[in-house]
Structure 1
């Protein structure tokens, strides 16, 4: 490309988000399920936060971690969905450069935090099942606060290089992002410099960190299953394992889409671009929507608290 034909975007004031490339005519129709899922996400996670705050019987490690998960899901979805819907409804494609970096940071940070919360919840299940008599002494409020702080700091610090590295690259190809949000690799590909450090760091955060989290979750559940199979009665084994079902479902709903999205984006060169974008949106929409449903259906204490809340409001 000659210098005369190259537009210099070294410090672009805005980026242009295309939405879902190739499906622009269907944006309005696509927005209907997206908006529905976002509404369910806001309602479900807000209800969980309200119930945990209001009901003293829910003031325990499991529900503290669950409320933190609900808050993280709200941040994860709200960092992208409002702008996405504005693209679909009002064709509002422009996003400020700093706003793009901010969106990238909160998106990645909340994803990292969510992964850490699942590790904390697995540890809570391990202590509750393998050391039930020591659960209250091991997972005190002070310890839970430390775990939550560690999850937040880990997410915030590990994701911090994303916007800093992205800001330093010169942009001389284009300022058009073929995506619904400021996805890290989609932005980095617009840079006209050697961005291998961003690529390598992105791969490290996308695979190594969740891999370590999954490893610790697997260790926890190995010990949990060992303790369950040592129980003398079948009914006791089923009942004890049933307390882990909601957590396992939430883990699968979170990790499978995000790993599949990362793999297809980096290695699925023959896959249509709109498929890449759809898959990338999947883990932003579905897990935050499913988590409050999964825990609401599987957790009797939440059901009881919600029933009391509704009956009190009705009287």
Structure 2
């Protein structure tokens, strides 16, 4: 295990050490192949979704515009994390500078918070499409969607902007070994040799006021959607309305289940093998950006037909 010790009154670490496969660093190279393939598929899949939505005039609707924002956040998350992950596994390059770590930390959390807010917007979009089908496109015009997108970005940026400064003020004079192949706020702050109450409190406030609130709003939206669907007389129309929500429900599960899993393992699974922690951490970051374009390509007929036409 790599550790660097300093006197508390001396100086902070200038670098952090990222961890690959715990205790089996000599096998890191084999993890690089699936990660590299996953990275390529993630970039290609999300770029294809953006290209299809941009070029197909019939997809210039609120649902697909929100999907394009989701694809952009997935691309941002992949670009923020995959280079360092591949560097660790492929080249055994495990050092990351303090400034680079803070920058990566900010963008990882930024794109995750953006994605959570986009899922809320998409839940509202599905509710409006089912509740007000005739006025759907006029109520969610391009101007309204742009304003929603700007609000999503502003919320994430304003809430996360203090995080790097809260970390930068802390002295780091013990171990400089992080738990993952990327930098996260909880992971970095736990290495500090000072009181981190402010960091913990601010992190809790952010989680409750964003992710917690987002989950509540999504649940309320789907309760209202179900009430609206049950009021439809035709059984066929009910199924048709619910079918438009399947892709979004899959995206919600893809985003929140790995996050809940990683949180639970960190809090209650300290006795588990480090390998499990490593796998869940990689799934938490790498899998959602890969699966979202696959789900929407498979479950959305217009996108599926357009992609098929491209390859033909």
TM-score range (shorter-chain normalised) is over 0.9
Partner SS for 1:211: helix
Are 1:156 and 2:157 matched, yes or no? yes
Shift of 1:274: 3.4
CA distance in 2, matches of 1:70, 1:242: 21
CA distance in 2, matches of 1:5, 1:98: 19
Matches within 5 A, 1:42-81: 42-81=43-82
Q: How many residues align?
A: 308
In structure 2, the partner of 1:246 is 247
Matches within 5 A, 1:37-116: 37-116=38-117
Matches within 5 A, 1:193-232: 193-232=194-233
CA distance in 2, matches of 1:107, 1:293: 22
Partner SS for 1:194: coil
Shift of 1:21: 2.0
In structure 2, the partner of 1:279 is 280
Contact 2:21-2:27 at 8 Å conserved across structures: no
Residues 268 and 10 (structure 1), Cα distance of their counterparts in 2 relative to 1, 3 Å cut: farther
Deviations along 1:3-32, whole A, 9 cap, x unmatched? x97376744322121223223232122222
CA distance in 2, matches of 1:23, 1:62: 45
Residues 5 and 220 (structure 1), Cα distance of their counterparts in 2 relative to 1, 3 Å cut: closer
Partner SS for 1:63: helix
Shift of 1:279: 1.3
Q: CA RMSD in A?
A: 1.7
Deviations along 1:128-157, whole A, 9 cap, x unmatched? 001111112210111100100111111111
For structure 1, list consecutive stretches of 5 or more residues without a partner in the other structure.
none
CA distance in 1, matches of 2:67, 2:51: 12
Residues 310 and 9 (structure 1), Cα distance of their counterparts in 2 relative to 1, 3 Å cut: farther
Of the structure 1 ranges 200-209 and 101-110, higher mean CA displacement relative to structure 2 is found in 200-209
In structure 2, the partner of 1:137 is 138
Shift of 1:204: 2.9
Contact 1:21-1:179 at 8 Å conserved across structures: no
CA distance in 2, matches of 1:175, 1:143: 46
Contact 1:9-1:174 at 8 Å conserved across structures: no
Contact 2:85-2:182 at 8 Å conserved across structures: yes
Partner SS for 1:177: coil
In structure 2, the partner of 1:292 is 293
CA distance in 1, matches of 2:230, 2:110: 37
Contact 1:21-1:178 at 8 Å conserved across structures: no
CA distance in 2, matches of 1:38, 1:115: 21
Shift of 1:207: 4.4
Shift of 1:174: 2.5
Partner SS for 1:145: helix
In structure 2, the partner of 1:264 is 265
Contact 1:119-1:213 at 8 Å conserved across structures: yes
CA distance in 2, matches of 1:178, 1:286: 19
Shift of 1:105: 0.3
TM-score, normalised relative to structure 2: 0.93
Partner SS for 2:245: helix
